[in-house]
Structure 1
Amino acid sequence: MGDIESTEFNLAGGGGAGRERPVDPGPLEAERAAEVTLRPKSLDEFIGQPKVRGQLDLILSGARRRGVTPDHILLSGPPGLGKTTMAMIIAQELGTSLRMTSGPALERAGDLAAMLSNLMEGDVLFIDEIHRIARPAEEMLYMAMEDFRIDVIVGKGPGATSIPLEIPPFTLAAATTRSGMLTGPLRDRFGYTAQMEYYEVEDLTEVVTRAAGILGVAIDPDAAVEIASRSRGTPRIANRLLRRVRDFAEVHGSGVIDLGAARAALIVFDVDEMGLDRLDRAVLDALIRGHGGGPVGVGSLALAVGEDPGTVEEVCEPYLVRAGMVARTARGRVATATAWRHLGLEPPEGAPGLF
């Protein structure tokens, strides 16, 4: 692997790696091709996020009318909601090429300079997880975003010279799952910030139905709703569960996904009616049965379930908090009444959410 991890796309692409959990919102290495196939290619095809789509349509249409490059765009939100797909659509709508890289790949200013110098006028540069970009590269990005030029340092020590390098006007489309970690100067240079929200079941049902049509598998409406309701508000998870249910229907059924096949398949893959998988339930079990409902630190929970604390905190905990099953307090994590009942237990007096 080289210093810069990047790819050039015209219509589709993307990537990433994640753990083999069916409800992990992160992309899985083995499923890149399938995700590319299922990605919408235009704003009209994109399901959900109506506010973001409407605002982006205005920005892109206005730029096309004036014959200029659009303002830089920041796509913010949890993983799996379509930030990379939206960046691809931006390039498609503008009729330009898309260059892709990630924040961790830009370790030095020279990495970014090499990428910027290869841009053509009007290109879209997509930087995923931009909050993880190295500080030297970030400082170079300031000038590139604002003045469309960079200063390349040649030599070292007293003999070093700065050579200004003009770069063609471009649009930076950056994605972040942690907008709070962006520095103020970088955040202020984006002309538009799109906040991607979790999906409602109705929108996810449409996502599942569309994906089933692309995959060439028949699916009953009730089965599509069942898969959507267990997808944690995330299209990437919905598409992944659909593929696993399709496998089950082809191996153990007629190939048609009906409600019975969907429920049976999701039992096989340990995804319950709330969208929790084995690890999520193990965390709740450790919190409730092992520590009496808390409060308990994330390190102790991770030790109890045999996982890395980062996995518990970044992969499991966000959904458990959003689902109202875990509350964060100054003393640690506490199980709510909803969590107790989900495990079939009676919540004690004083449990959060008990009225």
Structure 2
Amino acid sequence: MSDIERTEFEVPESPVDPHRHQGDTDLEKSLRPKSLNDFIGQPKVREQLHLVLSGARQRGVTPDHILLSGPPGLGKTTMAMIVAQELGTSLRMTSGPALERAGDLAAMLSNIMEGDVLFIDEIHRIARPAEEMLYMAMEDFRIDVIVGKGPGATSIPLEIPPFTLVGATTRAGMLTGPLRDRFGFTAQMEFYDTEDLTQVVTRAAAILGVDIADDAAVEIASRSRGTPRIANRLLRRVRDYADVHADGHVDLDATRGALEVFDVDDLGLDRLDRAVLDALIRGHGGGPVGVNTLAIAVGEESTTVEEVCEPYLVRAGLMSRTGRGRVATAAAWYHLGLTPPEGTPGAL
């Protein structure tokens, strides 16, 4: 199991799946900005983080612990790396699922140097024994190491140098209250608009040596579901298409041709998204329908439909979640080229 897990369950590697795919790691390393000034988007988070880090540097102290919250693919890992870069310290990386025992965390903390940044991805999935040890480490910069078992077990206090913990979570609601309260600064990462994503695509194209037209960059950005990771992935797929069909030049025609081949439509929906809408509308008259029924209809696990498809369909205004089940909006009917029945909210 890798240090940074992609997700809690396996999902199909769709071009518009925001979770990390097998081939994303090397690309993301080459495209990651190195400073807050180079980071595109998230202006409020950048300003807040600049104040937190600059204030700590001026006082000569270790910055407060930082919690980065938001959907996958928005740059939480990149932001953690930038924190270490801005402070001029080392970055230690792990993930919540990797910390199964208190000893796993103790081994990592025992190697921390003063001022280091410890990054824990998906921190809401950390095991309870390790989490309880983390409380003391965050608050008092010490841990108690248990030596031996049973009645003869001995607790040995171990002082650790002041450090900054950066935690990242896609599910802030799953964090326990005691853990959440120990973070001095919490940043909520937001989805990107098309303008910022166009800058992301243009910057990535320049780094990768891709000859891309301005309108092609906008087209990729508009189909990226507000997520830089998806924008970079689509750029790779469009580059592949352009290398084969357009002598490497990415223009608007090549971009649209590539995204059609890879089943990404003008709203950023992929095959599975459209299958869910089709099952909801053609199969069940627009709902309400339970998620398990939809999952069976499209041949996927219910967790895949609920965690991968639904968030964007709801955010795009194509689906509503009600107490009785999922309901298609008028926009979803129109997107499939159908006329919604009378009484559908938003129907013309």
Provide TM-score, normalisation by structure 2.
Answer: 0.97
> Partners in 2 of 1:39 and 1:305 — Cα distance?
36
> Partners in 2 of 1:94 and 1:130 — Cα distance?
22
Q: Which residue does the alignment assign to 1:186?
A: 179
Alpha carbons 1:15, 1:32 under 8 Å: kept:
no
Q: Which residue does the alignment assign to 2:312?
A: 319
Q: Which residue does the alignment assign to 1:290?
A: 283
> Partners in 1 of 2:231 and 2:222 — Cα distance?
9
1:276 aligns to 2:250 (yes or no): no
Q: Which residue does the alignment assign to 2:83?
A: 90
1:62 aligns to 2:35 (yes or no): no
Q: Which residue does the alignment assign to 2:66?
A: 73
> Partners in 2 of 1:325 and 1:16 — Cα distance?
26
Give, as a single letter, the amino acid of the residue that structure 1 aligns with 2:346: G
> Partners in 1 of 2:321 and 2:38 — Cα distance?
38
> Partners in 2 of 1:54 and 1:135 — Cα distance?
33
Q: Which residue does the alignment assign to 1:211?
A: 204
> Partners in 2 of 1:309 and 1:114 — Cα distance?
38
> Partners in 1 of 2:316 and 2:6 — Cα distance?
26
> Partners in 2 of 1:248 and 1:69 — Cα distance?
48
After TM superposition, list the pairs within 5 Å mapping 1:41-56 onto structure 2: 41-56=34-49
Alpha carbons 1:19, 1:28 under 8 Å: kept:
no
Give, as a single letter, the amino acid of the residue that structure 2 aligns with 1:118: N
- CA apart distance, 1:15: 7.1
Q: Which residue does the alignment assign to 2:155?
A: 162
1:331 aligns to 2:324 (yes or no): yes
- CA apart distance, 1:349: 1.8
- CA apart distance, 1:155: 1.3
Provide TM-score, normalisation by structure 1.
Answer: 0.95
Alpha carbons 1:335, 1:352 under 8 Å: kept:
no
Alignment: residue pair count? 345
> Partners in 2 of 1:103 and 1:299 — Cα distance?
28
List gaps (5 residues or longer) in structure 1.
Answer: 7-13
1:114 aligns to 2:114 (yes or no): no
Please point out which of 233, 244, 249 is paired with 1:251.
Answer: 244
Alpha carbons 1:15, 1:29 under 8 Å: kept:
no
Please point out which of 133, 142, 149 is paired with 1:149.
Answer: 142
- CA apart distance, 1:308: 0.8
Q: Which residue does the alignment assign to 1:127?
A: 120
Corresponding residue SS for 2:332: helix
> Partners in 1 of 2:175 and 2:344 — Cα distance?
36
> Partners in 2 of 1:113 and 1:310 — Cα distance?
33
Alpha carbons 1:145, 1:189 under 8 Å: kept:
yes
Q: Which residue does the alignment assign to 1:11?
A: none
> Partners in 1 of 2:132 and 2:67 — Cα distance?
17
Please point out which of 290, 310, 333 is paired with 1:340.
Answer: 333
Alpha carbons 1:99, 1:123 under 8 Å: kept:
yes
> Partners in 1 of 2:232 and 2:46 — Cα distance?
21
- Residues 276-328 of structure 1 show CA distances to partners (whole Å, capped at 9, x for unaligned) of 00000000001111111111111111111111111100011000000000100
1:40 aligns to 2:33 (yes or no): yes
- CA apart distance, 1:352: 3.2
Alpha carbons 2:319, 2:329 under 8 Å: kept:
yes
1:26 aligns to 2:39 (yes or no): no
Corresponding residue SS for 2:93: strand
Distance 1:216 1:15, change over 3 A: farther
Identical-pair percentage:
80
Q: Which residue does the alignment assign to 1:236?
A: 229
- CA apart distance, 1:16: 3.8
After TM superposition, list the pairs within 5 Å mapping 1:97-108 onto structure 2: 97-108=90-101
- Residues 63-103 of structure 1 show CA distances to partners (whole Å, capped at 9, x for unaligned) of 11111110000000000000000000000001111111111
List gaps (5 residues or longer) in structure 2.
Answer: none
Corresponding residue SS for 1:29: coil
> Partners in 2 of 1:352 and 1:336 — Cα distance?
6
- Residues 194-225 of structure 1 show CA distances to partners (whole Å, capped at 9, x for unaligned) of 00000000000000000000000111110000
Give, as a single letter, the amino acid of the residue that structure 2 aligns with 1:199: Y
Corresponding residue SS for 1:152: strand
Q: Which residue does the alignment assign to 2:344?
A: 351
Alpha carbons 2:5, 2:95 under 8 Å: kept:
no
- CA apart distance, 1:160: 1.1
